[in-house]
Amino acid sequence: MKWNVALLQMDVAFGQPEQNREKVRSLVDSLAVSGSQTDVLLLPELWDTAYDLPRLDEIADEQGERAIELLSWAARRLNSYVIGGSVAKRAGDQVTNTSFVFDRKGNLIGEYAKVHLFRLMEEEKHLTAGNRLGLYEMDGQTTGSVICYDIRFPEWIRTYALQGMKVLFVPAQWPNPRLQHWRQLLIARAIENQMYVVACNRVGFGGGSEFFGHSLVIDPWGEVIAEGSEQEEVVQAQIDLALVDEVRSRIPVFTDRRTSLYDLK
């Protein structure tokens, strides 16, 4: 099975959710009229609010309703699965950094709240951590998503891989100057789990940080098959899920694991 993936490597207006929603709508419309087939669309992390965390009481999306409406429309507009990056979702007195996932008909098929909160940007002061895997069935294939800082925790990603995941989607706001961390961590996650990694990072400035883009599509051998620039663009690539099975059969790392020796506590 082959999928054409599209990554919205976009700038995000700091603390301006309505402006950002309009931008997503415009980018999706442009992609739709371009005539290119899209099977999976991926957005960056916190594309609605950026890291304007102190104002989340004012600007967070109640139950994610506005994001869900827009992303469901995007899925129908493109006849595509949508991994909705992530948004600031308010539920009661808690706000989570949450990704919503939709099928080609615009139905919500899953969500994931960021599990590992990034202290360098004070997420733990403003957000509630998630506590569940983000696994989804897409065209009969097992896929999953994590968010940004989560990729620094290989045991978390391996947990997904052990559930049969073939493609990991990663929305992010990964800032300068850690470009090499971004690239090498994502490549390592692809190689060690023998899976595709599709990662969308934002560009631009916000909250005192600069974001460098370099969205990536990486195959199960760890080869980069598409990489964004440092400018706003739609990064596109085709992935062949049959390659996952081929790589896993040739180097049987899952069969050769010796779990009785592993202590992750």
Distance from C-alpha of 229 to C-alpha of 177, rounded to nearest angstrom: 15
Q: Structure pTM? A: 0.97
Residue percentage of the chain with pLDDT more than 90:
95
pLDDT band at 19 (very low <50, low <70, confident <90, very high): very high
Strands 40-42 and 81-83: parallel
- The reported pLDDT for the residue numbered 230 is 97
Using one digit for the tens of pLDDT, what is the confidence trace for 166-209?
999 999 999 999 999 999 999 999 999 999 999 999 999 998 99
- The reported pLDDT for the residue numbered 263 is 79
Please tell me which residue, 120 or 140, carries the higher pLDDT value.
Answer: 140
If you average pLDDT over every residue of the chain, what do you get?
A: 97
Tokens 């909705």 belong to residue? 84
Q: Catalytic: which of 23, 45, 89, 166?
A: 45
The helix or strand, by DSSP H or E, that contains position 187, with its residue range, turns out to be helix 179-193
pLDDT band at 265 (very low <50, low <70, confident <90, very high): low
- The reported pLDDT for the residue numbered 264 is 67
Q: Catalytic: which of 89, 148, 166, 200?
A: 148
| pLDDT at 232 > cutoff 90 | yes
Strands 87-91 and 81-83: unpaired
pLDDT band at 121 (very low <50, low <70, confident <90, very high): confident
Using one digit for the tens of pLDDT, what is the confidence trace for 75-111?
999 999 999 999 999 999 999 999 999 999 999 999 9
Using one digit for the tens of pLDDT, what is the confidence trace for 58-74?
999 999 999 999 999 99
Q: Is residue 45 annotated as part of the catalytic site, yes or no?
A: yes
Residue 111 contacts residue 72 (beta carbons within 8 Å): no
Q: Catalytic: which of 111, 114, 123, 166?
A: 114
Q: Is residue 246 annotated as part of the catalytic site, yes or no?
A: no
Provide the sign of the torsion angle of the four alpha carbons 202, 198, 218, 254, taken in this order: positive
Using one digit for the tens of pLDDT, what is the confidence trace for 243-252?
999 999 999 9
Q: Is residue 148 annotated as part of the catalytic site, yes or no?
A: yes
Using one digit for the tens of pLDDT, what is the confidence trace for 93-102?
999 999 999 9
| pLDDT at 215 > cutoff 90 | yes
Q: How far is CA 98 from the centre of its chain?
A: 10
